[in-house]
Amino acid sequence: MSQTAKPDAQYSHAPSYARAETAASATGLSIQGALRPARQPVQALNSGTLLLLGTGSAFWPLFQTSPEYLDGKADPVDRWSGRVVDALAEDLGGTAYYPFGGPPYTPFINWALGTGRFFTSPSQMLVHDSAGMMISLRGAIHFEQEFDIPPAPLAQSPCDSCPSRPCLAACPVSALADGGPYDLAACHAHLDTSAGAGCMSGGCLARRACPLSRSAGRDPEQTAHHMRHFHPQ
């Protein structure tokens, strides 16, 4: 967690969703959820406005030119996220939070569900209304002020209108079951075999099977990078 908030008097513009969206987009991030804790109760916060930031379509090419990607040191995406989201929070007048760096961990899953743009899939993984299961939240910015945010585009989970539930059937070792739990051991054992090469290079078959994931526009190299960190070989 990074405390970077400064008094509003130091800023020439009051915080707004549009301003934050423009600033985030310039860094390769996108606002993937927003809420006002006084109106939508969540853990750890009770007022103001919270914006959740995930990787956008421009993230990967920008990240590949960053010092964190090029220096060969550990945790390049987390280090990039810390630098970029800290700078965004300082520029916009908010406080930065991160889903990594614990324990203790910031309650990002609770926050995501609270925005109304993330849902729990039958496999218990989160699904987003536009990114599907190709979710990569890199940080959040909390503002002391309340300001207008767009309504969530879906009234209910997209899984409710997905009778085939491909996220459950796609895993070749049935590591994902309806309602959980996730069989992590079976997943990792599969990734250690030649049969798991497709998951390592292209991403989890279950995540990719979600119809919304197919239109997320995720660069395959980005997915392979995340898989190498999920299961180092």
pLDDT interval class at 93 (50, 70, 90): very high
pLDDT above 80 (res 8): no
Q: Residue 6 pLDDT > 50, yes or no?
A: no
Give the number of C-alpha atoms closer than 13 A to the C-alpha of residue 233, restricted to the C-beta side: 17
Q: Determine the pLDDT at residue 7.
A: 43
pLDDT tens digits for range 64-79: 999 999 999 999 999 9
- State the average pLDDT for the chain: 92
pLDDT of residue 179: 87
Give the closest residue to 35 by CA, choosing from 127, 178, 141.
Answer: 141
User: ∠ at Cα 98 (23, 82), nearest 5°?
Assistant: 60
Which pLDDT does position 218 carry in this prediction? 85
Residues 6 or more apart in contact with residue 109 via CB below 8 angstroms:
126
Q: Give tens-digit pLDDT for 181-218.
A: 899 999 999 999 999 999 999 889 999 999 999 888 78
Q: Can you tell me the distance from the alpha carbon of 130 to that of 56, in angstroms, rounded to the nearest whole number?
A: 11
What are the residue boundaries of the structural domains of the chain, listed by start? 8-230
Summarised one tens digit per residue, pLDDT across range 35-72 is 999 999 999 999 999 999 999 989 999 999 999 999 99
pLDDT score recorded for residue 133:
94
The pTM score is 0.91
Tell me the pLDDT tens digit for each residue of 97-123.
999 999 999 999 999 999 999 999 999
Rounded to 10 deg, the angle between the 17-26 and 76-92 helix axes is: 140
From CA 126, how far away is CA 56, in angstroms rounded?
17
pLDDT tens track for 134-192: 999 999 999 999 999 999 999 999 999 999 999 999 999 999 988 888 999 999 999 99
- In whole angstroms, what is the distance from residue 118 CA to residue 158 CA? 10
Residue 232 has pLDDT above 50, yes or no: yes
